[in-house]
Amino acid sequence: MIELGGNITLVGFKELGYAEFVVVKKVVGNYARKISDKQEFSNLTMTLKPIHKIKDEISKYEIKGKLEIDGKMYNSEVVEHNLFIGIDNLLKKLVAQLKLN
């Protein structure tokens, strides 16, 4: 479990390489800023789980997200081949639930 800024928790992301993790932090940070500009949130938790491995290479990721705002929970889940696209899609779904666009 990795905590970013106190209210963002990443679970299962320790297995990523340094370069991948830097990109993940940037993407998550940008969305967190977009959300907090409109509405203060208590907690954002993202869980990463590799679900398909082919010859020690991960071919699919399951990514789950939970966002808590004013005691209300918003949940989303994606399965994607590309980690970064998956994270982006997950966070887009959470933002869409908040109707912040």
Output the tens digit of pLDDT for each of the chain's 101 residues. 888 878 999 999 998 889 999 999 999 999 999 888 888 888 999 999 988 777 777 778 999 999 999 889 999 999 999 999 999 999 999 999 887 54
Residue type, 3: E
Contacts of 87 (CB under 8 A, 6+ apart): 24, 27, 28, 46, 63
Residue 76 and residue 89 in contact, taking contact as beta carbons nearer than 8 Å: no
pLDDT for res 101? 44
91 phi and psi angles, rounded to 5 deg: -70, -35
48 phi and psi angles, rounded to 5 deg: -110, 130
Contacts of 23 (CB under 8 A, 6+ apart): 84
Pairwise CA distance, residues 10 & 82, whole Å: 17
**Which class is domain 2-98?**
alpha beta
Task: Say if pTM beats, i.e. exceeds, 0.85.
Answer: yes
The 10 Å Cβ neighbour count of residue 67 is 25
pLDDT for res 93? 94
pLDDT for res 70? 86
